[in-house]
């Protein structure tokens, strides 16, 4: 960064694809120390530097220091996931009476867009904005029939430092024929730092949801209405340490090997509303998440098995990170009782998620009632 010119954005080469295509990284930097590094491969959040209560910055998202790690193994670190995030049962559904057959890549099911989802594509940089709210916009065109999905889909993702300690993610999509769309970001958060060697079991999690979706052994929602969180290990409404109940003998914790469930958020009017808070006691970092999506997948890093060396050469193990993925509910195309994920020509899919970083005051974690919504609402 060149401080003398007050530039808050930089663009550089991060790696090369096997065919020699350049993978770029754009760095967005705020005056308050927040810094986001966006990689064109997967339109990914490659690094996110956030100050702690003493002003020390740490990268709080898992991933790799060099591009080769992302290419070698598909693990969705920080990636934009689509065309349909999460799972579709049997890798098939019906749309307007016609059967749609997808690529199955998770047993018999389709997961996170299929064999080569949006996370495995090198996106185009179409706009860069410098100034007080630096931003980068990336675009990808998904061809009709890609991974089996109907319709040519034009997708844009904008990452923006929107305000003091705020990172905004805006996603839009347009189609030329009826299809389904469900996008998310798959960042793995550890507020103690990606290189800290600590897990997230002491992170305090709040989720603004009264219900969650119980799943079967294939992580597909059971054929029943959403389950109430009351009197279960899935009740995070008042804020609970992630590890407090993760080893309780609950059938849904068994089947998910921990938390890997969709929480049903209150209906949205198109504007982001409070969905979750994650707080780490030692650094004092607090992440507040706002979104306009109907669901939040909470994943406690259950399948990190120590076989991947990430940033700083750290081996990532179970519960080393927490994913908070706002999106439509899983298997929605097969569940007419779920909020729809259909997109028709002339419509615009819009996904907005705001990540706001604060600090615990006096070591105490605030309650949901203390959170102000974007625009000053409550």
C-alpha pair distances (Å), 186 with each of 22, 30, 82, 183, 359 = 23, 23, 10, 10, 23
The burial of 103, by beta-carbon neighbours within 10 Å (0-12 exposed, 13-18 middle, 19 or more buried), is given as middle
Q: Look at residue 20 and give its three-state secondary structure.
A: coil
H or E element that contains 205: strand 204-207
Burial label, 145 (beta-carbon count in 10 A; 0-12, 13-18, 19+): exposed
CA dist 92 and 109 (Å) reads: 8
Q: What tokens were used for 149?
A: 């999905």
Rounded to whole angstroms, the Cα distance separating 245 from 297 reads 18
Which whole-number Å values give the CA distances from 148 to 38, 61, 162, in the listed order? 28, 31, 36
| Cβ-based neighbour number of residue 130 at 10 Å | 14
- Examine the residue annotation and report whether 112 is marked as an active-site residue of this protein: no
Sign of CA dihedral 324, 327, 332, 333: negative
CB-CB contact of 267 with 236 (8 Å): no
Active-site choice (64, 186, 261, 359) = 186
Longest dimension (CA), the chain: 61
Angle (nearest 5°) at CA 339 between 338 and 341:
110
Per-residue DSSP letter, 119 = G
CA distance 161 to 136: 10
Residue tagged active-site, from 146, 147, 288, 325: 325
| Residue 186 bears catalytic tag | yes
For residue 139, the cross-strand partners are 124, 156
* Residues labelled catalytic: 186, 325
């Amino acid at each position: 960064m060149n401080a003398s010119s007050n530039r808050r954005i930089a663009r550089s080469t991060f790696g090369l694809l096997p065919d020699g295509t350049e993978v770029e990284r754009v760095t967005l930097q705020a005056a308050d120390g927040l810094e986001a590094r966006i990689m064109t491969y997967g339109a990914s959040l490659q690094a996110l530097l956030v100050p702690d209560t003493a002003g020390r910055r740490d990268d709080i998202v898992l991933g790799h220091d060099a591009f080769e790690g992302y290419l070698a193994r598909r693990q969705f670190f920080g990636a934009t996931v689509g065309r349909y995030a999460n799972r579709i049962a049997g890798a098939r559904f019906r749309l307007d009476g016609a059967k749609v057959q997808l690529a199955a890549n998770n047993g018999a099911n389709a997961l996170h867009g299929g064999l080569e989802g949006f996370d495995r594509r090198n996106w185009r940089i179409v706009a860069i904005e410098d100034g007080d709210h630096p931003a980068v916009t990336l675009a990808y065109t998904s061809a009709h029939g890609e991974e089996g999905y109907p319709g040519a889909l034009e997708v844009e993702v904008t990452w923006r430092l929107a305000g003091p300690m705020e990172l905004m993610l805006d996603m839009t999509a347009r189609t030329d024929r009826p299809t389904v769309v469900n996008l998310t970001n798959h960042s793995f958060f550890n507020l103690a730092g990606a290189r800290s060697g600590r897990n997230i079991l002491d992170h305090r999690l709040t989720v603004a949801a009264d219900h969650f979706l119980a799943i079967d052994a294939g992580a597909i929602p059971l054929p029943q209405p959403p389950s109430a969180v009351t009197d279960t290990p899935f009740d995070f409404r008042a804020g609970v340490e992630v590890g407090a109940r993760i080893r309780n003998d609950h059938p849904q914790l068994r089947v998910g090997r921990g938390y890997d469930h969709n929480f049903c958020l209150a209906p949205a009017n198109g504007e982001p509303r409070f969905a979750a808070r994650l707080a780490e006691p030692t650094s004092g970092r607090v992440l507040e998440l706002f979104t306009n999506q109907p669901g939040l997948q909470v994943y406690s890093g259950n399948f990190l098995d120590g076989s991947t060396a990430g940033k700083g050469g750290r081996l990532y193990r179970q519960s080393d990170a927490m994913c908070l993925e706002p999106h439509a509910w899983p298997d929605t195309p097969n569940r007419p009782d779920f909020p729809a994920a259909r997109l028709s020509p002339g419509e615009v899919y819009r996904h907005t998620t705001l990540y706001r970083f604060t600090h615990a005051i006096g070591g105490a974690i605030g309650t949901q009632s203390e959170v102000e919504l974007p625009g000053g609402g409550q």
